[in-house]
Amino acid sequence: MTYRVCLVCMGNICRSPMAEVVLRATLTGNGLAGVVVESAGTGDWHVGGPMDQRAAETLAARGYDGSEHRARQFTREWFDRFDLVLAMDSVNLRALRKLAPAGREVRLFRSFDPAAPADAEVPDPYYGGQDGFDEVLRQVKAASEGLAKHLAAELR
């Protein structure tokens, strides 16, 4: 049985694709390469488009490759495909909870970062400078490490 995780932000061009690339690498590095990681946005503005250039460059500068990413929109049917759906912030968390079937849990991605409060968000860097993308990368790396530990304990 394959375990599947979906990371969700607003447009699927900055935060969630950065988190997807980093989480996939982190899981592979922790012996969990069989976990499927995907990302999507709650909005449809960028569907089919590549990752934001600043996000891709931030990843590339740290040895990650986000060049294959194409933005997608999360729909209610996706809950049937994923075991774990994680939002980047409270706005997307609320949107996902409205779509979710009754009883389906949706969490914030940073809730897996042991150094962050349970309600910590990954802020949207889209309208800011490079420092915002660097901060997003730092935050998704920490949350990815925490999620890898959680999944290692849960799936083994």
Mean pLDDT by 10 residues, the chain (156 residues): 94 98 98 97 96 98 97 97 98 98 96 96 96 98 98 93
CB neighbour list of residue 72: distance below 8 Å, 6 or more residues apart: 12, 38, 39, 40, 41, 47
Percent of the chain with pLDDT over 90: 98
Q: Crossing angle of helices 15-29/130-155, nearest 10°?
A: 40
Domain 4-155: CATH architecture, name and number where available: 3-Layer(aba) Sandwich (3.40)
Q: What is the pLDDT of residues 33-70, one digit of tens each?
A: 999 999 999 999 999 999 999 999 999 999 999 999 99
Write out the catalytic residue numbers. 9, 15, 124
Which residues share a beta bridge with 37? Answer: 5
| Domain spans in the chain, listed from the N-terminal domain onward | 4-155
DSSP string, 109-129: GGGG-TTS-TT------TTS-
Q: Where does the chain have alpha helices with state H?
A: 15-29, 53-61, 90-99, 130-155
Task: Name the phi and psi angles at 37, rounded to 5.
Answer: -125, 130
pTM of the predicted model as reported, rounded to 2 decimal places: 0.97
Q: CB of 41 within 8 A of CB of 13?
A: yes
